A and B are shown apart, each in its own frame.
Chain A
Amino acid sequence: MEDFKLRFYTNFIKDDRYMYLVKGLGNTLMITFLAVLLGIALGFLVAIIRSTHDKTGKAKLLNTICKIYLTVIRGTPMMVQLMIMCYVVFGKYNINKIIVATLAFGINSGAYVAEIVRSGIMSIDPGQLEAGRSLGFSYAQTMWYIIMPQAFKNVLPALANEFIVLLKETSVCGYIGMMDLTRGGDIIRSRTYEAFMPLIAVALIYLVMVMALSWLVGKLERRLRTSER
């Protein structure tokens, strides 16, 4: 027990080492939050273009661009994309790493969100589009008022899952020299030569965040479900 206390002290309290975790967590949350926003924006845009093409045959060129985007992003590892973003795209510029990481993760997440949302849009009965159009709504209005709210509800669990994956995936940020939560724990390990304490702490923090996120989504899902019966 005494030993545990001492190890806790050297790993977290001494020299304010817990600050590595706090600062790292701050960066992890910041990147995840911004990347989720970017991912949603990109994902919905791509999903709408793709499903509009599937349903009406319009927007051929845009659809092709979207397909290339999906193929490239989903066909290469996240870590490679992150390093390309940092050392190739922004290699010559001294730019805030948070922005670099946000762009890389947001663009990556957008590809997965796009396919999730598109499956949601395609799962809505075509009769809904016809009903909206027959009342006089334009295609865009029907999408906005009638199709998207239903599609969003259907894909919410899958979407939440994607964001949980994203949160954990930001742990590769260390590869571009950023201090995220994982890197913070690793720095402590390099100072104290002890793996157990800092790494278990890092794992626990991720776990708590994921559980909180799942709980929130469950609540939202139940609220949206009230219209079913």
Chain B
Amino acid sequence: MSVNGEVLFQIDNLCKSFGANLVLDHISTEIRSGEVVVIVGPSGSGKSTFLRSLNLLEMPTQGTISFEGMNITDKKTDINKYRQKIGMVFQHFNLFPHKTILENLTLAPIKLLKKSKEEAEAEARALLKRVGLEEKENAYPAQLSGGQKQRIAIVRSLAMHPEVMLFDEPTSALDPEMVGEVLNVMSDLAKEGMTMIIVTHEMGFAKEVGTRVLFVDEGIIKEENNPEDFFGHPKNPRLQEFLSKIL
């Protein structure tokens, strides 16, 4: 895995507050192409807010985020164009319930990338095959299991050919026996060199697939390291406490 790619995200003094509540407190870091960054931390620590800031689902109150050298927090940036490059997978899948699986996958490529219906469908079918759900193309989301829905949500994002994939607790809403199938898809994606930023509680996955792990607590990155040292030799007392509770 190449972790020494060019800098994709340059994040400087990112702050986000909801009213008087400061959720992100001057976060600075950079994320390089090909990295698989796993973000862990207690609930309410700001890790989801940080992830959602990266595609501006949360507008930062202060600080800047640059993507490939372009300041995306600038008001003049075309947010919609930018978001096409950033895939996002949600905890609750958020598939479109009124559309078939195939339509879920082809809607954005047809409308936004102006692909022909045939081209978009051919590509969607290839993606469905890749996650083993090719026979579900005419099903509706309500007919799928949680694990299947999340795999569809991942390929729906991939259909836009994103440069980065964001995962916001992708397995937290799943039954335990379905977690594996989703993590497998994510591992494959990481092996192909996709840049990924993942908020998760799956520590085993973080160890195995992550190239870097961030510990976010009280809106601050309290520790960041490679997975081996992060889990083997945690330095921050809050992280030690956190790990002792969950491992």
Which chain A positions have C-beta within 8 A of B22? none
Which single residue of chain A is at the shortest CB-CB distance from B96?
A146
Contact assessment for B90 and A136 in the assembled complex, using a CB-CB cutoff below 8 Å: no
Which single residue of chain B is at the shortest CB-CB distance from A131?
B94
Q: Does A153 contact B (CB under 8 A)?
A: yes
Which single residue of chain A is at the shortest CB-CB distance from B81?
A136
Complex CA distance for A125 and B83, rounded to whole angstroms = 20
Contact assessment for A137 and B98 in the assembled complex, using a CB-CB cutoff below 8 Å: no
Contact of A138 among B80, B92, B142, B160 (CB under 8 A): B80
Contact assessment for A135 and B112 in the assembled complex, using a CB-CB cutoff below 8 Å: yes
Contact of A137 among B55, B88, B94, B112 (CB under 8 A): B112
Contact assessment for B96 and A131 in the assembled complex, using a CB-CB cutoff below 8 Å: yes
Contact of B160 among A125, A136, A227, A229 (CB under 8 A): A136
Contact of B143 among A128, A135, A136, A229 (CB under 8 A): A229
Q: Does B178 contact A (CB under 8 A)?
A: no
Evaluate whether A136 and B108 lie within 8 angstroms (CB atoms) in the complex, with A130-B57, A228-B140, A228-B142 already known.
yes
Q: Does B195 contact A (CB under 8 A)?
A: no
Q: Is the interface of A mostly helix, strand, loop or mixed?
A: helix
Contact assessment for A133 and B57 in the assembled complex, using a CB-CB cutoff below 8 Å: yes
A: contact size bracket:
20 to 34
Which chain B positions have C-beta within 8 A of A130? 57, 88, 90, 94
Complex CA distance for A145 and B96, rounded to whole angstroms = 10
Complex CA distance for A131 and B84, rounded to whole angstroms = 12
Chain B 93-115, CB-CB to A under 8 Å as 1, else 0, gives 01111111000000110011000
Chain A 40-76, CB-CB to B under 8 Å as 1, else 0, gives 0000000000000000000000000000000000000
Which chain B positions have C-beta within 8 A of A135? 83-84, 88, 107-108, 112, 156-157, 160
Which chain B positions have C-beta within 8 A of A150? 96-98
Q: Does A26 contact B (CB under 8 A)?
A: no
Which chain B positions have C-beta within 8 A of A149? 98
Which single residue of chain B is at the shortest CB-CB distance from A153?
B98
**Considering the complex of A and B, which 9 residue pairs feature the smallest CB-CB distances, nearest first?**
A136-B84, A131-B94, A134-B88, A127-B94, A135-B108, A136-B83, A227-B140, A136-B80, A136-B112
Chain A residues close to B by CB (< 8 Å): 125, 127-128, 130-131, 133-138, 141, 145-146, 149-150, 153, 227-229
